[in-house]
A and B are shown apart, each in its own frame.
Chain A
Amino acid sequence: MLRLDKRPTPSKFWNYATPVTAVLLTMIAGGILFALLGKNPFEAIKLIFWDPLFSEQFASYSRPQLLVKAGPLILIAVGLSIGFRAGIWNIGAEGQYIIGALCAAGVALAFYPVESWLVFPLMILGGAFGGWLWAMIPAVLKTRFNTNEILVSLLLVYVAEKLLAAAATGFMRNPDGAGFPGSRNLSQYPAAANNEIFVNTGLHWGGVAAFIAVLFTYILLQRHLLGFHVQLAGQAPRAARFAGVAPARLVVLCLGLSGAFAGLAGMFEVAGPARQITIDFNAGYGFTAIIVAFLGRLHPVGIVLAGLLLALTYIGGELAQFMLNLPAAAIQVFQGMLLFFLLALDVLSNYRVRLARQPAKTDAKVELA
């Protein structure tokens, strides 16, 4: 039987070295996978990690795209990380993202075609409000009836998807769209459009919002009493209660904050890169952001790096697909490997693996049969 003993003081060196090692291991294992599929592994790895950043042909376009793809992931993930630190599990960011986008698009379409500087700020408020509102459902149900916020927030994603489909095919459908589903193209409505702030940087207002959110979260967690309460509630719930932390307030706050961030991400996406409300508007950012949050170890700076890394594998993965005719599934396996190695190495750096003859009497945290 294998036993994992918690290391009393995990190595500082490995704490920083594991992500790099995980990337290297992924390159090796992924290379073997690509070779088995009959492709040149070096070329494939280069296409995924190097070409989007440095190739003459693609980099000038794909480098800014990294920001476009990573922006919403980071914005949602920092919001989630606050709750995750407090042991409050919002799994439904995808739904809050959808509702945020719907509310923002609703504001824009209500004003269309009025040209006013007020439209965009109102859309931002609408987006944040929509996400917050959708997150308040699991929050209120949890504080009032003690329901499980994981289940409620997750199931509300599917409700949000139905609302989205209804909006795209019904009440938000473009009246000039020949009866096809999908709203008006918001990027062609200047008052509502979320275009690049500086050309060819990929930076739109969503990127700015993500940056502000990261700063905000960093200050909240490191420098503010509330951040201390959040961490305390996650690590020692009983102690937190003695310290005067009201669990209900924390639930409402964490879910509300992460919901508002997700709603904002939806707002910037629908007015910018996505251009309109469509049936399949949500592309999984809300779920991927959960991975980003944990990949970044729930730390704001880590989340920025994790978001950029994941965005890189998406963009590079697409390059590898059409340059080498690799199947999409191979790229997904590759991304899966990256997560696997990261988490596995994390376990190894935090725990010591022991071969045990008899059941251990020590405080073993995890046992593997």
Chain B
Amino acid sequence: MKRRQLLASSAAALGLAATAGTRAALAQSPMKVGFIYVGAVGDFGWNYAHDQARAAAQEHFGSAIETTFVESVPEGPDAERVMTQMALSGAQMIFATSFGYGPALNATAARFPDVAFEHATGYIQEHPNVSLYNARFHEGRAVIGTIAGRMTQTNKIGYIAAFPIAEVLMGINAAYLHAKKVNPDAEMRVVWAFTWGDPALEAAAAEALIDQGCDIIMQHTDSTAPLLVAQDRGALAFGQASDMSSFAPEAHLTAIIDNWAPYYIQRIQAKLDGTWTAGNVWPGLAEGEVLIAPYNDRVPAEVQAEADAMIAAISSGEYNPFTGPLNKQDGSVWLEEGQVADDGMLWGMDFYLEGIEGDIPS
């Protein structure tokens, strides 16, 4: 395989160039940390939350680090190029914050062995300088599911889902399960948007759900559009990734906040100290990586207390949102009485739980 060998030698050459770059950067202190986002930082959702954490890290470390970012980078070759150019510019740490950056990130990591790569929501870890991190968003879904179950008048909860993947199904199932727990009449309607963020499409989905009688909208997409529709139509909704209450003060009951700052600060500190090693972590409510935003005054005090109790129980580890007995939609057993879903079972989730109507598109 001549091509392979040539590739390997070029990788070594680039690697050398990278080492030289790192040394030069070390001499003039501030450590460069690069961030790449799949969407615009102004989305007030996923990318905004990551950029808030970047800003918090910059503030925390002051002149010890210099953070830069590139937004709206499509997955694939563009991401690979941006990460490579960041590494060439002397970045010693790169946070890539979209699942789809995986192959490009690992290919870049192979060429820059001294650069620490942190990949959000990824699963490919082919090199010792690639770290993975994620957040247990479904724990937050259990909390807002409880609130939704208590507050729905029509007993119909709408859910705008992005893509039929395990992470999204975890959210739908956790929300449904906990709504059902406090309100046996609660039903869930799911609309598949097949996008992570498209305001027009998300708004149309919210309209459709409200037309079907849903009075509470949940979303696993990034824009504020569903909240705005809910506000207009007198429905209720929850913010996604950041506190979106300013966009829909009436409709916004609370939000699941992605709080990446503690993790970013911890990892950058480790890199500064020279103790950084690759890991694979999945923190949640307990670690403060998932937060529940302040409640709207419309949420009754007893519902707030119930939600707080849920947060406390999950945080302390005494309660797991997926505890058996639980059946799949087709009636087959998923978890036995008292059985708790482990991480492997969660990532294998490709089904609705019993009681949710409709099919998962494939």
Contact = CB atoms under 8 A, between A and B. Distances in A.
B166 A273 contact: no
B104 interface: yes
Interface of A: 57-58, 60-62, 65, 68-69, 162, 165-166, 169-171, 177-182, 185, 187, 190, 195-196, 198-200, 269, 273-276, 278-281, 283-284, 314-315, 318-319, 321-323, 325, 327-329
A57 B89 contact: yes
A278 B89 CA distance: 28
A318 B99 contact: no
B165 A58 contact: no
A274 B89 CA distance: 23
Given A199-B9, A319-B85, A278 B347 contact: no
8 contacts: A58-B88, A165-B163, A178-B347, A179-B165, A283-B77, A322-B68, A322-B82, A322-B89
A199 B10 contact: yes
Contacts of B80: 273
Nearest to B104: A275
Contacts of A278: 75-76, 100
CB-CB nearest 8 A-B residue pairs: A273-B77, A283-B74, A322-B68, A274-B76, A199-B10, A170-B362, A199-B6, A328-B72
Contacts of B34: 322
Contact of B165 (A169, A269, A276, A321): A169
A54 to B, nearest CB: 14
Contact of A185 (B9, B77, B103): B103
B81 A318 contact: yes
Given A179-B349, A182-B102, A280-B100, 13 more contacts: A179-B165, A179-B166, A180-B166, A187-B107, A190-B1, A199-B7, A200-B13, A280-B74, A281-B76, A283-B76, A322-B70, A322-B85, A328-B40
A166 B350 CA distance: 14
Given A65-B81, A325-B68, A180 B88 contact: no
B104 A178 contact: no
Contact of A196 (B7, B75, B163): B7
Contacts of B1: 190
A76 B6 CA distance: 29
B3 interface: yes
A328 B103 CA distance: 23
Contacts, number: 127
B71 A328 contact: yes
Nearest to A65: B81
Most A CB contacts (10 A, CB to CB) among B10, B38, B100, B123 go to B100
Interface in B98-128: 99-100, 102-104, 107, 123
B163 A181 contact: yes
Contacts of B103: 182, 185, 187, 275-276
Contacts of B347: 178-179
Nearest to B36: A322
Given A162-B194, A321-B71, A195 B100 contact: no
Contact of A180 (B68, B76, B81, B165): B165
B71 to A, nearest CB: 5
A318 B70 contact: yes
Given A61-B14, A179-B347, A179-B348, A279 B163 contact: yes
A322 B6 contact: no
A192 to B, nearest CB: 13
B155 interface: no
Contacts of A57: 21, 88-89
B362 A323 contact: no
Contact of A58 (B41, B85, B362): B85
Contacts of B227: none
B85 A61 contact: yes
B166 to A, nearest CB: 5
